Amino acid sequence: MKSFTLRLQDASHAEEIAGATSFVGEDSSGSFGVLAGHARMMTSLIIGLARFRVGNNAWRYLALPGAVLYFYDNVLTLTTRRYLLDDNYMRISQALQQQLLAEEEKLHSMKKSLHRMEEEVLKRLWEMGRKGAG
């Protein structure tokens, strides 16, 4: 069975998985698969789960906050901020959901903080305008 190398890279580490026989991911056009010998390609994966198989083993799952996929010369490279890798679909789905919720909370907190800063800047500008006019 033909195989390719899967190279995973995030902000803190990289790993290579030899013997991959199939990869399934999703970009803005929908789900797609990659097999050994695929033509050169590059795309941006959307946030979610991807999966791959080594030999005839069970699927392994990748949770990604989006990634750049590049396939060339039988090496599939995924570059992302971070990823989670697991053999258990339910466990990785829950981890992805928790990660998304945590990021959403951080984003909400950041938006509140930014809104408070904007209000403070406008208040000071208004006060400066009053002092300058008076």
DSSP string, the chain: ---EEEEEE-SS-EEEEEEEEEEEEEETTEEEEEETTPPPEEEEEEEEEEEEEETTSPPEEEEEEEEEEEEETTEEEEE-S--EEES-HHHHHHHHHHHHHHHHHHHHHHHHHHHHHHHHHHHHHHHHHHHHH-
Q: Which domains does the chain have, with CATH numbers?
A: 4-108 (2.60.15.10)
- In this predicted model, what pLDDT tens digit does every residue of 54-86 receive, in sequence order? 999 999 999 998 999 999 999 999 999 989 999
- In this predicted model, what pLDDT tens digit does every residue of 19-63 receive, in sequence order? 999 999 999 999 999 999 999 999 999 988 999 999 999 999 999
pTM above 0.95, yes or no: no
